[in-house]
Amino acid sequence: MRPKTLPNQYVERRTRDKQSARITYVFALVASMAGIAVISTSSTAATQSTDLNAIIDGLQRKYSRMQGLEADFVQIYYGADGRVVRESGRLLLKRPGKARWEYSAPERKVFVSDGKNVFFHVFGEKNATRSSIKETADPQIPFLFLLGRGNLRRDFSRIEIATGEPAMGAGNHILRLFPKRAPEEFKQLLVEVSTASFEVRRMVIFERSGARMDFLLSNVRENYVAPDSRFQFTPPPGVIVKQAQ
């Protein structure tokens, strides 16, 4: 039986099928670049601005050309109450708009996007949910930016080199992004980028409640193009797919 305490409020809403998903994509925003304000408050503002633009341009070149991606992930939820929940599994992405998150620990569940609809199922439950990708609140959807969806400079009002947040990898840079339009729960996000390869290593979503969600990627296989069958959801025998309300 599924635990009552879950890593984030969005998954709870979907699996219980009580509320509709209403969060915009968060990370689905880093493709072709237009004009955005680059903010820096240090005495080396010109250098930081140059570095920031170089990182943005590097991300653009890398991910706008990528057709698919495979990686291991660790998802860590830090609750405002001090609760920490760690989950892990395997991620597949494919252009355009296809994603498959297979969670293996601590419970088995699957999140699948076929490019139009999103399906979510916890193994052992009798129901699965389906919702339009445009209405989905799941934090997994933002990773579609890795395949060139959205526009970083258009969709964020401010981007800066983050300070006060230690990088996981030596030489990595962390970008702090503030969205122009976001749901009430969403505050800002961080993206940790390797300046050597422009590979995204970590993403962090901050909620206004004080909670945060960290996604860590490893064993990344770039330009791996999985078959379309991997992005189709076939409910197990006896499982009913219900439209998210």
Rg, the chain, Cα only: 18
Question: What domains can you pick out in the chain, each with its CATH number?
Answer: 9-227+239-243 (2.50.20.10)
Give the integer Cα–Cα distance in Å for 175 and 204: 10
Which amino acid appears at position 208 of this protein?
A: R
Angle at 161 between CA 158 and CA 165, to 5 degrees: 115
| Long-range own/partner contacts, residues 47-55 (CB < 8 A, 24 or more apart) | 48/161, 51/161, 51/173, 52/159, 52/160, 52/161, 52/175, 55/173, 55/175, 55/193, 55/195, 55/198
pLDDT tens for residues 26-76?
223 222 222 223 333 343 444 455 588 888 888 777 877 888 889 999 999
pLDDT digits (tens, 9 = 90+) for 161-209: 998 888 988 889 998 888 776 555 667 888 899 888 888 889 888 888 8
User: First-to-last CA distance in the chain?
Assistant: 22
Task: Mention every residue, 6+ apart, whose C-beta is less than 8 A from residue 61.
Answer: 198
Tell me the pLDDT band of 115, cut-offs 50, 70 and 90.
confident
Compute the average pLDDT of residues 140-166. Answer: 70
- Whole-angstrom Cα distance, residue 138 to residue 128? 14
* Percentage above 90 pLDDT, the chain: 33
3-state secondary structure of 59: helix
pLDDT given for residue 63 in this prediction: 78
Who has greater pLDDT, 103 or 47? 103
Q: Is residue 175 a contact partner of residue 53, using CB atoms and an 8 Å limit?
A: no
Nearest to 147 by CA among 67, 90, 58: 67
DSSP 83: -
- pLDDT one-digit tens code per residue, 207-239: 888 899 899 999 999 999 999 999 999 999 999
Whose tokens are 């030489």? That residue is 171
SS3 236: coil
Determine the Cα–Cα distance for residues 206 and 53; give it in Å rounded to an integer: 23
Which residue has 């193009």 as its token pair? 225
